[in-house]
């Protein structure tokens, strides 16, 4: 709690495990927010690299540093990161992703002023290892910009066959509803974010902002690129669960369309990873040429 006993309006948490390569850039993107009333919780997951040293090198009274004694799996680590947050509104940012400086400025007021909202999301850029934009303004397709009920979002998510809402960095949610919904599910490793969004939307509406307020990094070592079949299997399971759930007004036609759309979502993911790998190979070639030139007599 800050001096005077007042809580911040929003908590941003960064769970980090061996994230030294990009952590400083991620932290800076949070500290540069135009919305100043926030706390930043950095949870270091017993890393073997210099993540802890990088995190603690920042000196800002809004930062709280926490460290796990033992390495937790991703789901448990993300759950603990949110549990450490004290504000009523929460944003989780992966340790290699970025926020636009106006992200909190544009997302916090709607959630603060309208208790019927369960989620506020924005578009995000897809970036490579050098923070260059690979695909701009991605997400919230299929009519998800604007105000929508949970049932409307469920139908659009199912028909999309992938994750049109996005990753945690471009989403803001309520701490209390996170607890009520049960938090991140560790058995949904590859759709953990979308699975949570849909459970949270049982408690309120969705607001999709047209601005691009975050950036999701795709590197050559991205876990998603190595487990495409598991991603598809979990996506299919989630579609089937949403179709059978009584929480949303979903029609059998929506589920049938979603099953047809899934291969398209898979193809889009593969294309993104392929572009990222090509960019990384070009960077490696340029670096090798520079090193060779520097070592030449």
How high does pLDDT run on average in the chain?
A: 91
What is the helix (H) or strand (E) element at residue 209, kind and residue range?
Answer: strand 205-217
Q: Are the C-beta atoms of 279 and 129 separated by less than 8 Å?
A: yes
For 224-287, the DSSP string reads GGG-HHHHHHHHHHHHHHHHH-SSS---HHHHHHHHHHHHHHHHHHHHHHHHHHHHHHHHHHHH
Q: Are the C-beta atoms of 145 and 210 separated by less than 8 Å?
A: yes
Instruction: Give the chain's radius of gyration (CA, Å).
Output: 19
Question: Could you tell me the pLDDT band of residue 3, with boundaries at 50, 70 and 90?
Answer: very low
The whole-number average pLDDT for the span 16-39 is 98
The pLDDT score that the predictor gives to residue 4 is 46
The pLDDT score that the predictor gives to residue 284 is 67
Please count the CA atoms within 13 angstroms of the CA of 185 that sit on its side-chain side: 17
Alpha helices in the chain (DSSP H): 23-31, 51-56, 74-83, 103-113, 150-160, 175-181, 192-200, 228-244, 252-295
How far apart, in whole angstroms, are the C-alpha atoms of residue 97 and residue 217?
6
Q: Over the stretch 227-281, which tens digit does the pLDDT of each residue have?
A: 778 888 999 999 999 999 899 999 999 999 988 888 887 777 777 777 767 776 7
Q: Does domain 10-283 have CATH number 3.90.550.10?
A: yes
The answer on pLDDT for 5 being more than 60 is no
Q: Are the C-beta atoms of 185 and 193 separated by less than 8 Å?
A: no
End-to-end CA distance of the chain: 60
Q: Over the stretch 103-123, which tens digit does the pLDDT of each residue have?
A: 999 999 999 999 999 999 999
How far apart, in whole angstroms, are the C-alpha atoms of residue 265 and residue 238?
14
Domain locations along the chain: 10-283
The answer on pLDDT for 90 being more than 80 is yes
The pLDDT score that the predictor gives to residue 231 is 87
Q: Which residue has the higher pLDDT, 223 or 262?
A: 262
Closest CA to 179 of 40, 44, 66, 86: 86
**Residues listed for the chain:** 297
The pLDDT score that the predictor gives to residue 290 is 64
Q: Over the stretch 169-218, which tens digit does the pLDDT of each residue have?
A: 999 999 999 999 999 999 999 999 999 999 999 999 999 999 999 999 99
């Amino acid at each position: 709690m800050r001096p005077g006993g007042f809580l911040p309006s929003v908590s941003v948490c960064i769970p980090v495990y061996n994230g030294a390569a990009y952590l400083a850039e991620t932290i800076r993107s949070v500290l540069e927010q135009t919305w100043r009333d926030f706390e930043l919780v950095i949870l270091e997951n017993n890393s073997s690299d210099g993540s802890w040293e990088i995190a603690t090198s920042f000196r800002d009274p809004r930062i709280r540093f926490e460290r796990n004694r033992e390495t937790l799996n991703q789901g448990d680590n993300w759950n603990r990161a949110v549990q450490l947050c004290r504000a009523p509104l929460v944003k989780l940012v992966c340790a290699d992703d970025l926020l636009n400086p106006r992200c909190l400025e544009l997302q916090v007021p709607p959630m603060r002023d309208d208790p019927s909202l369960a989620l506020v999301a924005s578009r995000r850029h897809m970036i490579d290892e050098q923070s260059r934009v690979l695909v701009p303004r991605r997400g919230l397709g299929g009519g998800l910009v604007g105000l929508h009920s949970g049932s409307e979002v469920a139908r659009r998510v199912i028909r999309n066959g992938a994750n049109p809402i996005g990753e945690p960095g471009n989403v803001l949610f309520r701490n209390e509803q996170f607890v009520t919904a049960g938090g991140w599910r560790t058995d949904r490793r590859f759709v953990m974010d979308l699975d949570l969004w849909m459970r949270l939307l049982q408690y309120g509406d969705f607001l999709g902002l047209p601005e691009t307020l975050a950036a999701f990094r795709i590197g050559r070592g991205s876990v998603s690129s190595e487990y495409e079949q598991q991603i598809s299997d979990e996506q299919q399971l989630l579609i089937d669960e949403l179709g059978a759930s009584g929480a949303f007004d979903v029609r059998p036609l929506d589920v049938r369309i979603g099953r047809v759309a899934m291969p398209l979502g898979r193809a889009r993911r593969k294309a993104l990873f392929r572009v990222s790998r090509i960019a990384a190979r070009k960077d490696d070639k340029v670096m090798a040429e520079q090193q060779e030139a520097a070592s030449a007599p």
